Structure formats: structure tokens, C-alpha cells
């Protein structure tokens, strides 16, 4: 006997992600799912953003990157609320992990919740966590050649941050070429070249965040 | 590694469908996955075998088929298929390189079960 099914394999994750999205919408919290390869600069960028926008916004972070154990401490040092998730070696965060984390946080007065995903450009792209935007960091030391096997992450991201631009003089990296990969399947992607070390370009990224927070509040 | 969680989700759906249809032996499950989804079929096979070992699903065949990448050109609005290079998708009609919209190639579906 045949049974026709036609169900999305990731429907369970999608359902929880939708619940989270509704809850974040109700509470008017902008949620950013931050993804990159290991070491591209997610934590460093967050440290800068958390400090520089401190007076304007109440921000919280869910730390899911397991490469280095002191990421959560680096974030906490900025004064932001942070919760570390133990992914037990997993290669991505899923919506149920975020649901669990959020239940342990105090987000009533938060304007922005950043989720630092596991360092990996493939799997996190498949698992929504209730975010408004996926933001992918590509660092110029990774090279401008095919960033990873699958372009899905660029198709799904609202923003690509090209980080470590302070190192551009020393590496073989063509910003236009890398931007092309991202734009091929994503007309609307916004690309910000930045350096989380020298702060170069961060203003544009912060301006984008301000606009998105405003939009979320009016939503 | 994420194939483990994908296989778990797959098995949950299989179990639900089998209960709903009051059957307990699975012969085959057919799934389809998009060309740019994160599924690596070999890894999914391994995960599926591992998770069904010593269960009533043991021995079931997992059949996977790939859904090609299709895009709609935002310049000429015609559809075209992805070639070998998934990063630079050039429209086969007008040559445009940027801003295409994905029509298929991202999905992950359980198509059907063959049961006894
Ligand atoms: N030169 C340079 N180094 C950076 C920049 N951003 C981050 N780094 C360095 O890259 C390394 C990895 O950064 P981290 O933020 O931990 O990456 P994550 O794994 O993505 O969180 C650290 O040694 C950072 O100091 C940058 O803009 N320029
Ligand atoms: Mg980190
Ligand atoms: Zn065209």
C-alpha cells in the first residue's frame, strides 16, 4: 500500500519558529540570526554593536557558538544580557533550543535579540529560529572563491557583512566577486563591508539596525 | 551532522503517518530534497539506518531524489535551470547574473510511504 504524504521534513522546526516569530512580534523585539564560518567575527562584531548602541537600545544575546567557550563572557562584559546554549556538538541551533533559551531570559524590555549561531555556513541556513532576519558574515580572509558548498545561506540572508576589511591589503579578495555570489540568487541582499577591528563601516550596519527596530516597533 | 536531526524529523513524520493509517511495517520511504538544501543523501542514509536500527522501521529503504535548482530571472522574467556553478547563476535566456528568484531547489519533502 502507498501512502501519499507530501509533508515538509522540517515542519516541526518551522512550527516552533512560527510560534516564536508571533511571540517576538507581539513583544516588538527585532530578532537577528547571525551566521558565519567559525572565526569570521560574529562575537567581535556583536561586542562592538552592543557597546556602540548601548545608549539607544536594550539588547540581549543567545550565544550558540561552541568554538570558543568564552564567547558568552565576552558578550556579558558589554553589559548585555546573554544566555549560552549548550548545543552538545550540534552543527546548528534549532527553534526548540531558542524557545527553551527565551523562557529563561527576561526580554520584556528588549529591543533587539541577537542569536549567534554555530559557526557553519551550511546547516544553520535550514533551521529558522523565529528571526526577522538572517545576517551572514563572510570574512575577507576566507577568500572570494565559493564560500561554501551551498549558496542557500546567501539566498536566505537579508544582510551580508563582509568583515575584516582592514585585512584587504594583505589578502586576495575581490569584494565585487564575493558580492556577486550573494546577489546571484538574492536581489535584495544588503551588503556592508565592515571591520569589527577598526570600526570601519559599522555605522552603516548600525543604521540598518535602527531602521529595522523602528519598523518592528510600528509593525 | 545535521542529517541526524533531519532523520529524526523524518522518522517522526513516518511514525505519525503509520499510526494514522494503522500500519506497522514500512517497506520504503521516498523523499525529495532540493539541490541547494543542506541534505547530503549519503549522510542522510547513514543517519536513517542508525536511527532505525533495532526498531520496527529497520530494513526500510530510504529513497532520495534530488529536485533541481530552478530560478526565475528578474530581468527577463523567464525561468531557467541552475548549471554546475550554483554561485553564479547566469540566465540562459538573457545572460543576467544577479537577482534571480529561486523557484525550486530549497525544499525537503516526504513524498510517500510504501507500507504493509
Ligand atoms: N583583523 C581583524 N580581525 C578580526 C575582525 N573581526 C574579528 N577578528 C578576529 O577574528 C577572530 C575570530 O573572531 P570571533 O569574533 O571570535 O569570531 P566568531 O567565531 O565568528 O565569533 C578573533 O581573533 C578576532 O579578533 C576584523 O574586523 N579584523
Ligand atoms: Mg563566536
Ligand atoms: Zn533573463
Strands (DSSP E) contained in A151-216 are: 159-163, 190-193
Q: What residue segments make up the domains of chain B, in order of their start? A: 3-69+104-115
How far apart (Å, rounded) are the C-alpha atoms in residues A203 and A75?
20
Q: Give tens-digit pLDDT for B40-53.
A: 999 999 999 999 99
**In Å, how far is B57's CA from the nearest CA of chain A?**
16
User: How much is the mean pLDDT over chain A?
Assistant: 93
Q: Give tens-digit pLDDT for A84-122.
A: 998 877 889 999 999 999 999 999 999 999 999 999 888
Question: ipTM score here?
Answer: 0.91
Q: Between 3.40.718.10, 3.30.2320.50, 3.40.50.620, 3.40.50.2300, what CATH number should domain B3-69+104-115 receive? A: 3.30.2320.50
Do A9 and B21 lie within an 8 Å CB cutoff? no
- What pLDDT, on a 0 to 100 scale, did the predictor assign at position B81? 92
- What pLDDT, on a 0 to 100 scale, did the predictor assign at position A160? 96
Residues of A in contact with B97 (CB under 8 A): 180, 183-184
Do B38 and A123 lie within an 8 Å CB cutoff? yes
Most confident of A135-144, A181-190, B55-64: B55-64
Which element (helix H / strand E) includes A4? Answer: strand A2-8
Of B100, B107, B112, the CB nearest to A5: B112
| Number of Cβ within a 10 Å radius of residue A26 | 8
Q: What residue segments make up the domains of chain A, in order of their start? A: 2-205+207-211
The pairs formed by A63-72 with CB atoms below 8 angstroms and a separation of 24 or more are A63/A116, A64/A93, A64/A97, A64/A115, A64/A116, A64/A117, A64/A118, A65/A38, A65/A116, A65/A117, A65/A118, A65/A119, A66/A118, A67/A38, A67/A39, A67/A119, A68/A43, A71/A43, A71/A116
* pLDDT of A148 above 60: no
Torsion-angle region of A22 (φ positive above 0: left; ψ -120 to 50: alpha; else: beta): alpha
% of residues, chain A, pLDDT over 90: 79
Q: Is B65 on the interface with A (CB under 8 A)?
A: no
Rounded average pLDDT over A13-39: 96
Rounded average pLDDT over A149-165: 90
- What pLDDT, on a 0 to 100 scale, did the predictor assign at position B99? 87
How far apart (Å, rounded) are the C-alpha atoms in residues A189 and B63?
35
Q: Is A201 on the interface with B (CB under 8 A)?
A: no
Q: Is B66 on the interface with A (CB under 8 A)?
A: no
- What pLDDT, on a 0 to 100 scale, did the predictor assign at position A65? 81
| Number of Cβ within a 10 Å radius of residue B47 | 22
* pLDDT of A149 above 80: no
Which of A185, A135, A184, A186 lies closest to A162 in space, CA to CA?
A: A135
* pLDDT of A67 above 90: no
What cell was used for B37?
A: 538544501
Q: How far is the CA of A10 from the centre of ligand 2 (A)?
A: 26
* pLDDT of A135 above 60: yes
- What pLDDT, on a 0 to 100 scale, did the predictor assign at position B1? 63
Q: Give tens-digit pLDDT for B58-99.
A: 999 999 999 999 999 989 999 999 887 777 788 999 999 888
Contact by Cβ (8 Å): B26, B18 = yes
The pLDDT-based confidence of B2 (bands split at 50, 70, 90) is: confident
The pLDDT-based confidence of A70 (bands split at 50, 70, 90) is: confident
Query: Which residues form ligand 1's pocket by a CB distance below 6 Å?
Result: A 36, 38-44, 65, 67, 119, 163-164, 166-167, 195-197
Q: Is B84 on the interface with A (CB under 8 A)?
A: no
Contact by Cβ (8 Å): B18, B115 = yes
What are the residue ranges of helices labelled H in A27-122?
42-52, 71-76, 95-103
Residue range A2-205+207-211 forms a domain whose CATH class is: alpha beta
Rounded average pLDDT over B13-21: 97
**Test mutation, B86, B92, B104, B111, chain A, max A CBs within 10 A:** B86
Q: Is B76 on the interface with A (CB under 8 A)?
A: no
Indicate which residue's Cα is closest to atom 2 of ligand 1: A164
- What pLDDT, on a 0 to 100 scale, did the predictor assign at position A120? 87
Do B97 and A186 lie within an 8 Å CB cutoff? no
Ligand nearest B78 Cα, by number?
3
Residue of chain B whose Cα is closest to the Cα of A154: B87
DSSP B46-93: HHHHHHHTTSTTTTPEEEEEEEPPEEE-TTT--EEE--S-SSS---TT
Which of A163, A78, A170, A63 lies closest to A117 in space, CA to CA?
A: A63
Count of helix runs (H) and strand runs (E) in chain A? 7, 8
- What pLDDT, on a 0 to 100 scale, did the predictor assign at position B55? 96
Amino acid at each position: 500500500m502507498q501512502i501519499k504524504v507530501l509533508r515538509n521534513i522540517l515542519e516541526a522546526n518551522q512550527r516552533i519558529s512560527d510560534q516564536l516569530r508571533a511571540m517576538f512580534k507581539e513583544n516588538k523585539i527585532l530578532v537577528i540570526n547571525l551566521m558565519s564560518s567559525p572565526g569570521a567575527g560574529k562575537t567581535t562584531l556583536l561586542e562592538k554593536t552592543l557597546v556602540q548602541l548601548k545608549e539607544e537600545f536594550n539588547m540581549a544575546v543567545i550565544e550558540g557558538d561552541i568554538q570558543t567557550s568564552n564567547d558568552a563572557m565576552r558578550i556579558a562584559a558589554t553589559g548585555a544580557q546573554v544566555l549560552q546554549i549548550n548545543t552538545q556538538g550540534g552543527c546548528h541551533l534549532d527553534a526548540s533550543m531558542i524557545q527553551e533559551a527565551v523562557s529563561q531570559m527576561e526580554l520584556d524590555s528588549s529591543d533587539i535579540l541577537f542569536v549567534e549561531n554555530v559557526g557553519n555556513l551550511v546547516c544553520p541556513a535550514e533551521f529558522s529560529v523565529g528571526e526577522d532576519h538572517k545576517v551572514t558574515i563572510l570574512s575577507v580572509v576566507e577568500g572570494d572563491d565559493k564560500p561554501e558548498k551551498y549558496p542557500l545561506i546567501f539566498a536566505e540572508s537579508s544582510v551580508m557583512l563582509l568583515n575584516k576589511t582592514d585585512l584587504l591589503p594583505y589578502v586576495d579578495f575581490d569584494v565585487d566577486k564575493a558580492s556577486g555570489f550573494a546577489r546571484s540568487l538574492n536581489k535584495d541582499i544588503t551588503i556592508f563591508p565592515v571591520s569589527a577591528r577598526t570600526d570601519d563601516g559599522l555605522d552603516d550596519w548600525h543604521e540598518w539596525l535602527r531602521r529595522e527596530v523602528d519598523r518592528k516597533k510600528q509593525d | 551532522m545535521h542529517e541526524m536531526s533531519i532523520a529524526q524529523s523524518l522518522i517522526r513524520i513516518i511514525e505519525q503517518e503509520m499510526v494514522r493509517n494503522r500500519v506497522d511495517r514500512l517497506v520504503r520511504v521516498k523523499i525529495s530534497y532540493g539541490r541547494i538544501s543542506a541534505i547530503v543523501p549519503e549522510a542522510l542514509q547513514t543517519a536513517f539506518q542508525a536511527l532505525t536500527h533495532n526498531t520496527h522501521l529497520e530494513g526500510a529503504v530510504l529513497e532520495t531524489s534530488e529536485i533541481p535548482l530552478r530560478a526565475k530571472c528578474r530581468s527577463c522574467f523567464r525561468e531557467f535551470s541552475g548549471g554546475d556553478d550554483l554561485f553564479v547563476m547566469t540566465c540562459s535566456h538573457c545572460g543576467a547574473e544577479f537577482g534571480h528568484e529561486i523557484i525550486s531547489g530549497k525544499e525537503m519533502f516526504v513524498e510517500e510511504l510504501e507500507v504493509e
